[in-house]
Structure 1
Amino acid sequence: MLSVHLNNVIFWAYHGLYKEEKITGNEFEVNLRVDYTPPIPHTFQSINDTINYVALFKLVQHRMEKPTPLLESIAVDIANEIFTHFTMAQKVVISIKKLNPPIADFKGSVSVSFELDRS
């Protein structure tokens, strides 16, 4: 089993339940792991022999541009999209962190995580 990762990828987006979030936006951090079994033998002669991390980034970037009230919806959408576009993908693990949530007297971040196995 091999894994391709996107680590600590930062996006500015307009996700959230509150009107202010839809206007001012926020910083989000995405971490993504896609597990797959490489073709046999493991020669890796072409980008088609693996899961292209640039294509993964573009997929995530495109979805992050679409304002959505709940991070849970975004995580599930991205995982499903990966399975649609990458037939080799066997498992997706994604976390999306809102770096500056609009919560009074709150110092920190909030996040959701989602795992999806192809079955």
Structure 2
Amino acid sequence: MDVIDLKGIRGYGYVGALPEEQVLGQWFEVDVRLWLDLSAAGQNDRLDSTLDYRATIATVQQLIQTSKAALLERLATTIVEAVLQPPVQQVRVSLSKLTAPIPGFDGRITIELTRSR
């Protein structure tokens, strides 16, 4: 199986368990790995034989910007459901909250989901 990796998709969104996260928002970053057959595109060099990843990136950014949820798991599931469409056979979504409101914690929180159809 072939793979397309989309790394570093960023968006400002309003997902979080705390009320201020849902009002003030914060930055999120998403990496998406898509498994699909790229052999036809490799042979005929035609965009309609592969996945137009520009559309996938736009979908992920829109979902980050418009989703309202308390949990990262919910947003990650929404992204998975949106991108796991033909010709994609499997997807891995890694969703990171870049600035979690946790005192003394300067890292990121990441949820990773892998699903197949």
The DSSP-based 3-state class of the residue aligned with 1:115 is strand
Structure 2 gaps, min length 5: none
The 2-side partners of 1:20 and 1:42 are apart by: 47
Percentage identity across paired residues of the two chains: 27
Any idea what the Cα deviations from partners look like across 1:33-74, whole Å, max 9, x if unmatched?
A: 101013558424321211111010111112112222111111
Give the TM-score normalised by the residue count of structure 1: 0.88
1:64-103 equivalences in 2 (<5 Å): 64-65=64-65, 66-83=67-84, 86-103=85-102
Q: Which residue of the partner structure matches residue 58 of structure 2?
A: 58
Q: Which residue of the partner structure matches residue 43 of structure 1?
A: 43
The 2-side partners of 1:13 and 1:81 are apart by: 17
Q: Which residue of the partner structure matches residue 2 of structure 1?
A: 2
Higher helix fraction (1 or 2): 2
Q: Which residue of the partner structure matches residue 109 of structure 2?
A: 110
The 2-side partners of 1:71 and 1:60 are apart by: 14
The 2-side partners of 1:8 and 1:103 are apart by: 23
The DSSP-based 3-state class of the residue aligned with 1:89 is coil
Structure 1 gaps, min length 5: none
The 1-side partners of 2:76 and 2:109 are apart by: 14
Amino acid corresponding to residue 34 of structure 1 in structure 2: L
Amino acid corresponding to residue 102 of structure 2 in structure 1: I
Amino acid corresponding to residue 72 of structure 1 in structure 2: E
Give the TM-score normalised by the residue count of structure 2: 0.89
